[in-house]
Amino acid sequence: MKNIASLLHEHPFFHGLSGGDLNFLATCAENSRYKEGEYLAKESAPANHFFLIRSGRVAVETFVPNHGPLCLMTLQDGDIFGWSWLYPPYLTAFDARALSPVRCLRLGGKCLREKCESEPRLGFELMKRFARIATERLQAARIQLLDVYGPHPSQNPVQRRPHL
């Protein structure tokens, strides 16, 4: 049976980190499983965890009044979810719901913050990795906003909604 450090090593987010760093972080992590339909995190709840998805699919959703849940994006093997534990007020921004059985590594947010504070070199390395993923997701969100498959994709999306 693999230990937590080797499971961390297998996840793309931690590729390239030294064994020492992974052992140092492994004390914050635990293996967890979610059934289909179960929530990994709920909007506005304390952001206590950072998730590394090992297998399965997760929908990042928000509830729209008079409409219901709206899926913003889906995550899968190799993706991560949750960085709201990084900064105050440490509240989760969106719901995360398992679309299929999900296996993941769950790292304690407070524990990770303390490790990053105590080991700034490792903290900076992790921040660079978070920044890259946050940038990729921001770019993806901007492309979604362009509505490239819509009837008038060349129009400024804000101009199309004059009430904004």
Partner 1 sequence: MWRIERRHEEFPGTVTLALRREGHLEVPALPGQFNMLYAFGAGEVAISLSGPSAPSSDPLIHTIKSQGFATQALCRLPVGAQLGVRGPFGHGWPMLDGSHRPLVIIAGGLGLAPLRPLIYRFLQGQLPARSLQVFYGARRPQEMLYREELPAWGKSFELVTSVDHADTNWNGHVGVITDPLRVSAVNVKEALVLLCGPEIMMRFCIQVLRHKGVPASSIYLSMERNMKCAIGLCGHCQWGPHLVCRDGPVFCYQDVCKWFQINGL
Shortest Cβ 52–partner 1 spacing (Å):
14
User: Among 156, 160, 41, 42, which residue's Cα sits nearest to residue 104?
Assistant: 41
Q: Any idea of the CA torsion for 95, 98, 99, 104, to the nearest 10 degrees?
A: 130
Q: Is 69 in the site for partner 1 (CB under 8 A)?
A: yes
For partner 1, the binding residue among 33, 73, 113, 127 (CB under 8 A) is: 73
Q: How far apart are CA 54 and CA 59, in angstroms?
A: 15
> DSSP letters along 93-146, please?
-SEEEESS-EEEEEEEHHHHHHHHHH-HHHHHHHHHHHHHHHHHHHHHHHHHHH
Whichever of 89 and 151 has its CB closer to partner 1, that residue is: 151
Burial of 163: CB neighbours in 10 Å, binned 0-12, 13-18, 19+:
exposed
Shortest Cβ 144–partner 1 spacing (Å):
5
Q: Is 102 in the site for partner 1 (CB under 8 A)?
A: no
Q: Is 111 in the site for partner 1 (CB under 8 A)?
A: no
Q: How far apart are CA 15 and CA 11, in angstroms?
A: 7
Find all residues with CB under 8 Å of 157, minimum gap 6, and list them: 145, 146, 147
How many residues of this chain bind partner 1 (CB under 8 A)?
A: 24
For partner 1, the binding residue among 45, 70, 131, 138 (CB under 8 A) is: 70
Whichever of 26 and 52 has its CB closer to partner 1, that residue is: 52
Binding segment (CB under 8 A) for partner 1, from list 19-27, 71-79, 80-88, 113-121: 71-79
Subset of residues 123 to 162 that bind partner 1, contact rule: CB under 8 A: 136, 140, 143-144, 146-151, 153
Shortest Cβ 66–partner 1 spacing (Å):
13
Contact residues for partner 1 (CB under 8 A)? 59, 61, 67-74, 76, 78, 99, 136, 140, 143-144, 146-151, 153
